[in-house]
Amino acid sequence: MGIVIHEVGLRDGLQIEKRIVPTEQKIRWAEALMAAGVGIVQLGSFVHPDKVPQMADTDRLFAHFAESGRKPASAILSGLVLNEKGLERGLACGVEMFCLGVSASDTHSRKNTGMGTQEALDRVLAMARKAAGAGKAVQVSVQSAFGCGFEGVIPESNVLGIVRRYLDDGIRAVSLADTAGHATPEAVERLFGAILEMDPGLDIACHFHDTFGLAMANACAALRCGVRTFEAAFAGLGGCPFTAVTAGNHCTEDFVHYLHRTGRCRTVQMGPLVGVAGDAARLFERTLPGSVYRAVKPAS
């Protein structure tokens, strides 16, 4: 399996931004990301617009690509779902891959979903079965897998227990999310190693935040473990609005630059990624966390 970039900038990257990005601009960015060769693009999340106004047009975005035909066959459009109503919305508007998650932190789970971890897990498993039954791809995640901004250290046994429930339910695509940015390369290697011991054939993904400047180091550690799907956001935008300290995501173009320099993956083009990151910086009128877009001029 080659390396897959799961671009989450249009969801996790934008969800904390107060300046609403027009739908037409999101469409242009999504088209550029797919043209760059990004394998999976997360268009948005199905949440109440009062809680996350930036996601109010998620249904429209999916419907646009479902109806327009302007999507490469090689690209997959994913959407984040938190509850049954969101799942129904996603099924109605053309989501190809449903992303569902459970926090290993009970406190974070209640702030994010209004449910404790165990209740959320039961509901996510039921939704995953329904999405799979509808012929959709499903990826499940463990959020706050490496620590929590509210609770601090999360026992690794809690994370592995959630993963075991996923495996017992027949789910093969699992992501570990460092929601609070507490991961270290050592913890990444240990936890991913333990999961791959449970089932070496799993489709494992990672999702890192750069709260303490370790996102790139953690991604490289995951790469050494055999992880091949990396969730990242253009320009390093984003963060979870329901954690104690919000910080940006692992930066897509910075990671792709690293993959190019080390000869690991050249199927994703740098030019369109740098262009999207630069557009975002101009739109939000500030320097964004990513490094490469400031050092490399986009192709004219």
Q: Can you give the pLDDT of all 300 residues of the chain as single tens digits?
A: 799 999 999 999 999 999 999 999 999 999 999 999 999 999 999 999 998 999 999 999 999 999 988 899 999 999 999 999 999 999 999 999 999 999 999 888 888 788 889 999 999 999 999 999 999 999 999 999 999 887 889 999 999 999 999 999 999 999 999 999 999 999 999 999 999 999 999 999 999 999 999 999 999 999 999 999 999 999 999 866 555 455 689 999 999 999 999 999 999 999 999 999 999 999 999 999 999 999 987 654
C-beta neighbour count of 13 within 10 angstroms: 28
Q: Please, which residues have CB within 8 angstroms of residue 290's CB and are 6 or more apart in sequence? A: 234, 235, 236, 251, 252, 253, 254, 277
Residue 144 belongs to a domain? yes
DSSP labels, 175-204 = EEEETTS---HHHHHHHHHHHHHH-TT-EE
Neighbouring-strand partners of residue 138:
98
- Secondary structure class of 54 (helix, strand, coil): helix
- Secondary structure class of 109 (helix, strand, coil): helix
pTM: 0.95
**CA 180 → CA 17, 22, 158, 209, distances in Å?**
18, 28, 16, 7
Residue 284 belongs to a domain? yes
- What is the number of structural domains in the chain? 1
CATH number, domain at 227?
Answer: 3.20.20.70
> H/E element holding 79?
strand 76-81
Range of the domain at 109: 4-295
Residue 165 belongs to a domain? yes
Residue 90 belongs to a domain? yes
Catalytic residue ranges: 240
Residue 108 belongs to a domain? yes
Residue 28 belongs to a domain? yes
Residue 300 belongs to a domain? no
- What the block records as the tokens of 164 is 């075991």
Residue 85 belongs to a domain? yes
